[in-house]
Amino acid sequence: MVKFQSNKNQFVFTFAKNFLGISLWIPALLFIEQHIFSVGSIDGRSMKPTLNPETNFLKRDKVLVWKWNKNFERGDVVILRSPEDPQRLLVKRVLAIEDDLVKTRPPKSTRFVPIPEGHVWVEGDEQFHSIDSNQFGPVSTGLITAKIIAIVFPFSRMRRITNDDMRKDALVINTNFD
């Protein structure tokens, strides 16, 4: 009976030690997931063909989301809060940055829009299925929550997201001559 008690004490001690060791990592992992990077799933077809190229909604792209960097360049694919409904997250491509002049697409009534300081112009890669800056205008960079840097699943599509996927007919003029 004494031998059983010894094994039971050793089990409890080992369990407590391992549980405590794992528990100490939880805050660090939560911080990393909330503030540095995470993996997300893409819904919708506004970024087709870059993201979710298939029409089958069961085959959604899983992406690596980088939350740390707040410097955005033309061609970056970003996650932002909708200016029309802050509860909704959108995935769009940065087409123009501050001090640029961008040629719009319908339904925007003005032909060219200057991008003010602290703002960007975002559009979906699939112009006919995208609610973007052509509808709501330049977006404050404060609404951007993250940058998508890679597709991680499905494995056949695993790759970095680059600005090579940006539409070639976009007319963006940099008006900052400093």
In the chain, DSSP finds a helix count (H) and a strand count (E) of 2, 11
- From the list 6, 48, 92, 147, the catalytic residue is 92
Tell me if residue 92 is catalytic: yes
106 upstream amide cis, omega within 30 of 0:
no
Q: Of 8, 46, 70, 108, which residue is the catalytic one?
A: 46
CA distance 1 to 22: 32
In single-letter form, the type of residue at position 173 comes to: I
Any idea which residue has 């609610």 for tokens? 131
Q: Is 140 assigned a catalytic role?
A: no
Q: Is 31 helix (H, G, I), strand (E, B) or coil?
A: helix
Known catalytic residues are 46, 92
